[in-house]
C-alpha cells in the first residue's frame, strides 16, 4: 500500500465557496470543514483532506499583496505537513494571485493548485465540483514517491495551466482561462494526461523551500491606445514613489515614435523607474527592435517583457522590486525565466 497523500485546501473566498439559501435566495459562505458532506465524491479519492479558511472570505476584487502574503504563509507554515495544496480564490484576479505566489516560492517541490468556479458550489449546474475534485486529484498525483506536479498551477474546465502563463478570458463561460503562449500541463479526460516534458522540476532536490514575501506594489500599468495624450502619459511622472511601469504596447512591442512620448519614457528611465514592454495581444511576444516603432524603445533602455502576460509582469515586478536589485540585475532577471513564466 502506498502512503495516502495529505492535501490542504486553502479557502480565501470567491464564488466557489458560496452556497444559496433557498429560503432567501441569498448567497452565503460555505463551511469548508464540511466539504465531504457537500461533495461526497471526495471520499473516493485516495488522499486525506484538511481545510483552512480565511476568517472573512475575500472577494477577488479586494485582493492585495497583504493577502498574497497571507496565502503564501499558510502554505509555507504547512509545507512539511502536506503533500500538496489546493487554493480556492475568486477567478477574476486568480491569474494575478497565483502568478505572485509562483515567484514567492523558490525551490518549490510540491503542487500548489489554484482553482475556483463560475457558479457557486451549491448550484445545480455548477462547475465547482469538477474543478475542485480534479484539482485535488492532480495535487495528490505521485510517481516514484514524489509529486508529479511541483509548481504553481491553475486548474479550470479540464485543464491545468502553469499559473503564471494564464489570463482570464471569459466572465461567462466555464472555460474561463487561457494560456496562449504555453500548452496545458495536464488535460483531464477519461484519464489525467500529464504533459511530462514541460513540467518544472527543481534543480536542487536537497535544498529547502525558500519563501520570499517582500513584495513592492509601487507600480502602475499604462495601456497605450491610438490618440493617447501627452498629458496622460506625463501624469505618471508625478506618481509619488513609483518604481515601475508595465507598458502595454501594440503587437510585437510597438509604440508611438512621437518625440514627446519617447522623451517621457526616457524621463522614466532617468528617474530609475523601470519600464517593461508587454504586448496587448492575447498571444505572441514582444520583439524589441523588430519594427522601427519598437527600436526606439530598445535604445532608451525599456525592458523586454517577451511573451509574459500583463498579470505575470505585474507579479514579477512586485517580486523583483522587493529584492532591491541593482539596475542590470533587475533587467537580467526580468528578461530571464525564473518560474517558467517566459520562453528563453
Query: Span 77-93, mean pLDDT?
Result: 96
Active site residue 15: yes
Please name every residue paired with 250 in a beta bridge, in sequence order, or none if there are none.
Answer: 254
Average pLDDT of span 132-145: 94
- In terms of average pLDDT, the best of 9-13, 99-103, 167-171 is 99-103
DSSP-derived secondary structure letter, 208 = P
Domains and CATH numbers, the chain: 6-211 (3.40.50.1170), 219-334 (3.40.50.40)
Whether residue 121 has pLDDT greater than 90: no
Question: If we measure between CA atoms, which residue out of 224, 200, 209 comes closest to residue 279?
Answer: 224
Position 1 scores a pLDDT of 45
Give the pLDDT mean for 256-283.
95
C-alpha cell at 39: 461533495
pTM over 0.85: yes
Catalytic residue (choose from 2, 12, 15, 51): 15
If you search the block for the grid coordinates 514592454, which residue do you land on? 277
Q: Which residue would you say has higher pLDDT here, 159 or 298? A: 159
**More confidently predicted of 124 and 162:** 162
Tell me the pLDDT tens digit for each residue of 17-27: 777 766 776 77
E strand map for the chain:
6-11, 18-20, 27-29, 48-53, 84-88, 105-106, 112-115, 142-143, 146-147, 152-156, 159-162, 167-168, 177-178, 186-188, 192-194, 210-211, 219-223, 244-249, 274-279, 303-304
- The pLDDT mean for the chain works out to 91
Amino acid at each position: 500500500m502506498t502512503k495516502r497523500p495529505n492535501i490542504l485546501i486553502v479557502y480565501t473566498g470567491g464564488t466557489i465557496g458560496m452556497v444559496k439559501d433557498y429560503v432567501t435566495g441569498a448567497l452565503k459562505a460555505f463551511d469548508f470543514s464540511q466539504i465531504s458532506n457537500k461533495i461526497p465524491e471526495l471520499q473516493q479519492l485516495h488522499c486525506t483532506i484538511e481545510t483552512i479558511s480565511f476568517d472573512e472570505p475575500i472577494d477577488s476584487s479586494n485582493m492585495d499583496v497583504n493577502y498574497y502574503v497571507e496565502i503564501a504563509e499558510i502554505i509555507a507554515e504547512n509545507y512539511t505537513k502536506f503533500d500538496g495544496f489546493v487554493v480556492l480564490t475568486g477567478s477574476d484576479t486568480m491569474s494575478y494571485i497565483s502568478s505572485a505566489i509562483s515567484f514567492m516560492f523558490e525551490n518549490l517541490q510540491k503542487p500548489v493548485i489554484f482553482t475556483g468556479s463560475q457558479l457557486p458550489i451549491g448550484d445545480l449546474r455548477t462547475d465547482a465540483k469538477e474543478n475542485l475534485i480534479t484539482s485535488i486529484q492532480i495535487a495528490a498525483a505521485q510517481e516514484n514517491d514524489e509529486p508529479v506536479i511541483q509548481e504553481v498551477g491553475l486548474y479550470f474546465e479540464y485543464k491545468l495551466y502553469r499559473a503564471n502563463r494564464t489570463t482570464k478570458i471569459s466572465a461567462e463561460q466555464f472555460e474561463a482561462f487561457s494560456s496562449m503562449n504555453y500548452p496545458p500541463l495536464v488535460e483531464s479526460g477519461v484519464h489525467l494526461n500529464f504533459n511530462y516534458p514541460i513540467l518544472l522540476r527543481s534543480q536542487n532536490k536537497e535544498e529547502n523551500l525558500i519563501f520570499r514575501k517582500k513584495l513592492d506594489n509601487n507600480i502602475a500599468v499604462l495601456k497605450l491606445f491610438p490618440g493617447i495624450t501627452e498629458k496622460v502619459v506625463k501624469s505618471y511622472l508625478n506618481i509619488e514613489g513609483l518604481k515601475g511601469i508595465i507598458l502595454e504596447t501594440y503587437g510585437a512591442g510597438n509604440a508611438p515614435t512621437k518625440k514627446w512620448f519617447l522623451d517621457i519614457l526616457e524621463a522614466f528611465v532617468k528617474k530609475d523607474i523601470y519600464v517593461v514592454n508587454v504586448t496587448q495581444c492575447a498571444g505572441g511576444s514582444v520583439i524589441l527592435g523588430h519594427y522601427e516603432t519598437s527600436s526606439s524603445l530598445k535604445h532608451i533602455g525599456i525592458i523586454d517583457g517577451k511573451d509574459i502576460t500583463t498579470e505575470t509582469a505585474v507579479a514579477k515586478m512586485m517580486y523583483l522590486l522587493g529584492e532591491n536589485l541593482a539596475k542590470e540585475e533587475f533587467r537580467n532577471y526580468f528578461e530571464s525565466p525564473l518560474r517558467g513564466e517566459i520562453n528563453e
